[in-house]
Homo-oligomer: A and B are copies of this chain.
Amino acid sequence: MSTRMGAWLLGLALLAASAAAQDNQKQSQDEGQPATTNVSGARYPLIHSDLRITFRVKAPDARKVQVQGGDGLGKGPFSMVRGEDGLWAVTTPPAVPGFHYYWLLIDGVAVNDPASETFFGYGKPTSGVEVPEKGVDFYDAKNVPHGEVRARWYHSSVTGQWRRAYVYTPPDYDANPQTRYPVLYLQHGAGEDERGWSTQGRMNFILDNLIAAGKAKPMLVVMDRGYAARAGAAGAPAARSGPFAGTSAFEDVVLKDLIPMIDSTYRTLSDREHRAMAGLSMGGGQTLQITLRHLDTFSHIGVFSGALFGKFDPKTAYGGAFSDPTAFNEKVRLLWLGAGSGEERFVKSARALHEALERDGIKSVFVESQGTAHEWQTWRRALYDFAPRLFRDKK
């Protein structure tokens, strides 16, 4: 029996293995390494040592196949060339290190690459390719104690629906049942969801490594879905909510549902001194809107590549939160602003806000990520700089 079952299992395995797996042997003399974001056994996308990337897909009957993706991949779309056996391939110019969303255009239809994992971005599952950064490992799994990322379902009184939050608990959380921890609320960008920070962002490895090195305090990190529609809202059928249905409902979810649930479910330090919020892009805008209106609830604020494009009047912006610099500096322990040098509009506006606040006597931190665009490498670096500044003892 075991032999026959073995043969059957092997058959299943061969079914499961994609055609790409067979390329491993055929082309093992090629230079380059399969991206870590490839599905198991897939050789392409292949990252060359100079960070050029070769993409390949089998599409014998297609007339036109292209690759297109995030800024760091270069200015696409890149036209693929049909080779023997209907295999289309292209090698792009050297990419910026980090994580890039991408997709294939097959006869004009944007579809995912069967050879890559998908990541929720652009409002749907989207292919991604991880390009290593030489000598940089702060977001890799290392031989240090690891925390957990927990999927936590809770009912929202605001939306009338069940929601899922992801909660990072630090490595010693279960081992120290008497210890209470500060909490960082950490939000994704538009078109992404609660999974973004722990998959694309690798926030768990970043925190594990910082905590192991003694550079960041052990903390909980709560990542929620940044979309919400009020229960019974017109045009929002009960089972669904659009990708962006307004920040005001989400603000209420955070204040009325999420924070109380987290504080009653986990061993938190529940005063404002031990509660931070940060977010990227849309999540940065949500962070400013929510924290500045609730400084009795939050003490540390992080805006990663936030959308700060409007005219700024420190006397009136955000309901006058900046109108009394002395009071603001006393209350807000950290206001972190930053963006990548490759996302000009975002970095200019973040710097401008930082400088305007400075002129007004309001303390903030401004950090520019060199060479990266409106993409996850900017935000991994932002978290790596931001997290160590949280919850330090008051001087």
Contact = CB atoms under 8 A, between A and B. Distances in A.
Given A143-B155, A146-B153, A266-B174, A190 B61 contact: no
A308 interface: yes
A66 interface: no
A247 B281 CA distance: 45
Contacts of A247: 9
B13 A62 contact: no
A24 B5 CA distance: 49
B107 A59 contact: yes
B151 A21 contact: no
B62 A107 contact: yes
A72 B15 CA distance: 20
Given A9-B285, A109-B58, A310-B2, A243 B149 contact: no
A201 B374 CA distance: 35
Given A5-B307, A124-B39, A162-B141, A13 B149 contact: no
A218 B117 CA distance: 34
27 contacts: A1-B311, A1-B318, A4-B309, A4-B311, A5-B307, A5-B309, A8-B309, A9-B190, A16-B190, A16-B243, A17-B242, A17-B243, A34-B240, A40-B123, A40-B242, A41-B123, A61-B63, A61-B64, A61-B107, A63-B107, A109-B111, A141-B153, A143-B155, A146-B153, A148-B152, A149-B151, A177-B177
How many A residues are at the interface, by size bracket?
Answer: 35 or more
A11 B244 CA distance: 10
Closest 7 CB pairs of A and B: A13-B244, A4-B310, A1-B310, A16-B191, A12-B190, A111-B111, A61-B108
Nearest to A25: B235
A187 interface: no
Interface in A1-31: 1-5, 8-10, 12-13, 15-18, 21, 24-25
Nearest to A8: B307
Contacts of A265: 174
Most chain B CB within a 10 A radius of its CB, from A63, A307, A308: A307
B148 A3 contact: no
Given A36-B239, A123-B16, A153-B141, A60 B108 contact: yes
Contacts of A108: 59-62
Nearest to A153: B146
A307 B110 CA distance: 38
Given A62-B107, A153-B141, A312-B1, A241 B123 contact: no
Contacts of A34: 239-240
Nearest to A109: B59
B12 A244 contact: yes
A5 B191 contact: no
Contact of A191 (B15, B64, B148): B15
Contact of A3 (B266, B308, B310): B310
B244 A10 contact: yes
Contact of A115 (B124, B281, B282): B124
Contacts of A8: 285, 307, 309-310
Interface in A74-128: 104, 106-112, 114-115, 117-118, 122-125
A155 B237 CA distance: 45
A128 to B, nearest CB: 11
A153 B61 CA distance: 42
Contacts of A57: 109
